[in-house]
Copies of this chain bind each other. A is one copy, B any other.
Amino acid sequence: MSKGEATRQAILGQALDLTSEVGLEGLTLGVLAQRVQMSKSGLYAHFASKEVLQRDVLDTAAARFVDVVIAPALKRPRGLPRIELLFEGWLRWGTEELTGGCPFVAAAADFDDRPGMVRDRLIGHLKDMLGTVSRSARIAVEEGHFRADLDTDQFAYEMWGLLVAYQHYRRLLGDPASIRRAHIAFRGLIDHSTR
């Protein structure tokens, strides 16, 4: 990695933490410049525009998501054990890993009607994540953990819903039962997928 690329990656790491707090919409070159104590023109050398910065932060988030959520799950046995770890990692992702919340969930509402490179990249990453869930469920079918006629894309839809609900209940409503509710909902989804 060149020195310029190393600097760029270090900036993106801080930009991701900032995004978790203020949302992707709040991530501007000016706000980031203050955080990393660089001049705005110094940042322009790395990111040609706010949109490029926002797009690259989404890539950084997706790479970290692979490292801390997907990769550990892929090391577990195929099928249900893998899905269970995926779920647990995802719960921690928007709470302990990124203490300001999941940047994908925050960006989903902000960018849903804003065409452009940021929205396109966001859609790509979400499809990747949901596709990983769907494929993991397909493997669980093959392993005989889930029933043969399971609609695995439907499984991904429902798992996504209960993960987002967890983020709202925990981070916004401050509901002490949120983690219990997430687990009960997940157990119900697994039961429903099994029989």
**Contact residues of A with B, CB < 8 Å?**
21, 23, 25-26, 100-102, 105-106, 108-113, 119, 122-123, 126-127, 151, 153-154, 157-158, 160-169, 171-174, 177, 181, 184-185, 188, 192
Closest residue to A130 on the B side, CB-wise? B173
Main secondary structure of the interface of A (DSSP, over half): helix
Flag if B161 contacts A110 (CB, 8 Å). no
Nearest 4 interchain pairs by C-beta: A161-B165, A161-B161, A106-B109, A112-B171
Q: Is the CB of B25 within 8 A of A168?
A: no
Residue of B nearest to A160 (CB): B165
Which of B108, B109, B110, B157 is the one whose CB lies under 8 Å from A181? Answer: B157
